[in-house]
């Protein structure tokens, strides 16, 4: 019986483990793919507070995990098959057996699109990105492509337009979801009904092969490709029928990351958040951990850890 089981070892889950373990709660972190999350696949980190040297996402995650381990948190690589969260004791079933806890923090992140573009996986972190805030500064004065079909993609184009020299805005649909008008930008070319076919390059992005609205294939010379296609869903399938989820699968949580199910908390991309950043997920994890501590000790208020 653990005090806390954390499902997911990314920035939210690993940060939660630092706080729960430091708070003297026995902590187990379960993760089916520790090096496959969005942060782990990031090639270079340049905006995480306190990290000035060049660091990969995997290296940053290992630092957080090692900190959690130093306080006594356990990390286990395993596949989770089911959960039972409704009772006072929480049960997590895995390929390596069943684990019990008094509280569970869900930090499973989000699932990507069902199908990646040819070249996308190979060049992720080498010119392919899904985060302008993280990587936009690396393309100052360069040409990039933004592939998207929603308001999120337009927001990223507007942000990138202040940094790069040229943007090819590739929109597979005839319109952007939730957007009526697109502002005119001197350094952007908007292409509706254009299908991305392949990201070109061996060690780095060198171009994007597309199929235009007229049916012709073309190669666009770019140094980076930012992808914001619909399809990224919160990884909350295990929770269906046990914990309230909204219409898109996000956990319904309060300001302390608590679900209405006693002892069940969420952190990171399993909740609706206007900004998807590692530092935001880490903050979520810290809040969820202190809320779990409050729940387990039946305190009236969460106690922050200052020392």
pLDDT class for 51, splitting at 50, 70, 90? Answer: confident
What's the 3-state SS for 77-99? ECCEEEEECCCCCEEEEECCEEE
pLDDT class for 218, splitting at 50, 70, 90? Answer: very high
More confident residue, 209 or 154: 209
CA separation for the pair 62, 66 (Å, rounded): 6
Task: Return the pLDDT at 56.
Answer: 86
Is CATH 3.40.50.1370 what the domain over 128-228 is classified as, yes or no? Answer: no
Query: Across residues 42-54, what is the average pLDDT?
Result: 82
Query: Across residues 34-54, what is the average pLDDT?
Result: 78
CA separation for the pair 64, 44 (Å, rounded): 16
Q: Between helices 11-22 and 57-70, what is the axis angle to 10°?
A: 20
Judged against a pLDDT cut of 90, whether residue 40 lies above it is answered with: no
pLDDT digits (tens, 9 = 90+) for 84-127: 999 999 999 998 999 999 999 999 988 766 678 999 989 988 99
Task: Return the pLDDT at 185.
Answer: 85
Judged against a pLDDT cut of 70, whether residue 50 lies above it is answered with: yes
The answer to whether the CB of 54 falls within 8 A of the CB of 41 is: no
Query: Across residues 224-252, what is the average pLDDT?
Result: 87
Task: Return the pLDDT at 267.
Answer: 97
Give alpha helix (H) positions in 131-213. Answer: 132-135, 151-160
What proportion of the chain, given as a percentage, has pLDDT over 70?
A: 96
The CATH label, of 3.50.50.60, 3.40.50.720, 3.40.50.10860, 3.40.50.620, for the domain at 2-112+232-296 is: 3.50.50.60
pLDDT class for 306, splitting at 50, 70, 90? Answer: low
Task: Return the pLDDT at 81.
Answer: 87
Judged against a pLDDT cut of 90, whether residue 33 lies above it is answered with: no
Of 8-12, 130-134, 203-207, the one with minimum mean pLDDT is 130-134
Q: What is the pTM of this model?
A: 0.71
Query: Across residues 261-290, what is the average pLDDT?
Result: 93
CA separation for the pair 267, 257 (Å, rounded): 6
Task: Return the pLDDT at 92.
Answer: 97
The answer to whether the CB of 257 falls within 8 A of the CB of 284 is: yes
DSSP 226: E
Instruction: Report in angstroms the alpha-carbon separations of 203 from 121, 125, 126, 223, 263.
Output: 12, 10, 7, 12, 46
| Placement of tokens 């649909």 in the chain | 173
Q: Do domains 2-112+232-296 and 128-228 have the same CATH topology?
A: yes
The answer to whether the CB of 220 falls within 8 A of the CB of 210 is: yes
Judged against a pLDDT cut of 80, whether residue 215 lies above it is answered with: yes
CA separation for the pair 295, 281 (Å, rounded): 21
The domain segmentation of the chain, as residue ranges, is: 2-112+232-296, 128-228
Judged against a pLDDT cut of 90, whether residue 248 lies above it is answered with: no
Task: Return the pLDDT at 307.
Answer: 59
Shortest CA distance to 109 belongs to which of 5, 230, 238? 238
């Amino acid at each position: 019986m653990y005090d806390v089981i954390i499902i997911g070892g990314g920035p939210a889950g690993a940060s939660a483990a630092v706080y729960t373990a430091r708070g003297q709660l026995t902590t187990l972190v379960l993760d089916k793919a520790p090096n496959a999350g969005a942060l782990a696949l990031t090639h270079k980190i340049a905006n995480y507070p306190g990290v000035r040297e060049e660091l990969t996402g995997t290296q940053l995650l290992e630092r957080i995990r090692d900190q959690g381990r130093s306080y006594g948190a356990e990390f286990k690589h395993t596949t989770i098959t089911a959960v039972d969260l409704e009772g006072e004791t929480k049960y997590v079933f895995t390929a390596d057996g069943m684990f019990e806890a008094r509280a569970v923090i869900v930090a499973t992140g989000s699932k990507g699109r069902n199908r990646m573009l040819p070249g996308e996986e190979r060049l992720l972190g080498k010119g392919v990105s899904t985060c302008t805030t993280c990587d936009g500064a690396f393309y100052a004065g360069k040409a990039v492509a933004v592939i998207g079909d929603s308001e999120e993609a337009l927001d990223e184009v507007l942000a990138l337009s202040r940094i790069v020299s040229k943007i090819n805005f590739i929109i597979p649909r005839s319109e952007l979801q939730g957007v009526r008008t697109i502002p005119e930008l001197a350094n952007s070319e908007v292409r509706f009904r254009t299908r991305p076919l392949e990201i070109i390059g061996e060690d780095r992005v060198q171009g994007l092969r597309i199929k235009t609205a007229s049916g012709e294939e073309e190669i666009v010379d770019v140094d980076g490709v930012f992808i914001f296609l619909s399809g990224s869903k919160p990884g909350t399938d295990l929770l269906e029928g046990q914990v309230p989820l909204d219409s898109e699968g996000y956990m319904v949580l309060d300001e302390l990351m608590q679900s209405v199910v006693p002892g069940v908390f969420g952190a990171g991309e399993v909740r609706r958040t206007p900004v998807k950043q590692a530092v935001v997920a880490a903050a979520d994890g810290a809040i969820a951990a202190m809320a779990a501590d409050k729940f387990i000790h039946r305190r009236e208020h969460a106690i922050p850890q200052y020392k």
